[in-house]
Structures are given as structure tokens and as C-alpha cells.
Amino acid sequence: MIITETKLKGSYVIDLERFGDERGFFATNWSLKKLTDPEFGRMVESNLSTSVRKGTMRGMHFQRAPHAQAKIVRCTRGSVYDVIIDLRPASPTFKQWVGVELSAENRRTLCVPREFAHGIQTLEDDTEIFYLVSDFYAPETSGGVRWDDPAFGIVWPHVEERIIIPRDRDYPDFKL
């Protein structure tokens, strides 16, 4: 595992360190021995999300305490532009964002801390995301911010058409 912390403290991109031969390769995808951040030490659920069409937006979602979720995200088919926003008011990177391309081809993993909003835009048809979460879904604590909220200034890749459900499209402007 090649672990790189992003500019948002506590969030990481993991690239595979491949050991290959004529059969293919072997790589450790996840190990708490290597990424010792306790934020990612207790995953309780795995989820799978599929999107049929390129340009599908999901997010920007989060869960509030006491059910805030850390996430470990990987694209297992197709590709996505995955964006995280630091929503920790006391953080020096509060309201800053990072975008990472995750794909079946690059096999990258994104580790998203609690108190971050998380969302994706698919870059291909038939895309699949697999992710682990540190707490169970609790609808009463779920929330989100709009994908194009000027408070964050996220620059998304250009697509001909964005597919966004009303809930994700209609979040109000961000206010603390």
C-alpha cells in the first residue's frame, strides 16, 4: 500500500503496491497495520452503489454525530470523480475540498474521515462503487450539501448531462 495524505488532514488516497509475476499481481488493498489512523479501524458495514449512466451525481452526503461515518471507498467497475469536503469547523481546511479519480483500472482507494461530505460523479456508464463505513446508516442524522454550492467552489469534470436526484440538487446554500 502506498498511502498519501491529501491536503485535508486525516483523509488519504491509497494506491496499490503490486507484486507481480506471470500469473498477474498481488497487492494489499487495506491494512490497519499500515494505515494506523484509528478513524478507519472499525468498519461495520459494506455498501455497493451502481450507476447506469455517465454523469450521474451522488452526494454530497454525510451523517452527523452520534452516527458520523468514516468511509473507505473504491471504484470496482468504471470510473468516478470522487469529492470530499472538510466540514469540521475547527479544522484549518474547513470548507476545502479534494477530488480524486477512482477507477477499476487505477484501483485507488479513498479514505474519508467523519465530518466530511462525500460525493461522486460517474465518468463512465455502468460504474460501481464499493465502500466500507464506520457506523450504520441513520436517516435521522443524514444530511448533505449541494454539489455546486458556491461556498465550496468544487470544479467537477465536464459531462454532457448530469443526472441528479432532487434531494441532492436542492440542498440550500451552506451555512454554519
Mind telling me the catalytic residues?
Answer: 61, 131
Q: β-strands 12-15, 71-77: how paired?
A: unpaired
How deeply is 18 buried, as exposed, middle or buried, from its count of CB atoms within 10 A (0-12, 13-18, 19+)? exposed
How deeply is 122 buried, as exposed, middle or buried, from its count of CB atoms within 10 A (0-12, 13-18, 19+)? buried
CA–CA separation, 1 vs 14, rounded Å? 6
User: How many Å from the N-terminal Cα to the C-terminal Cα in the chain?
Assistant: 37
- DSSP structure class, residue 93: T
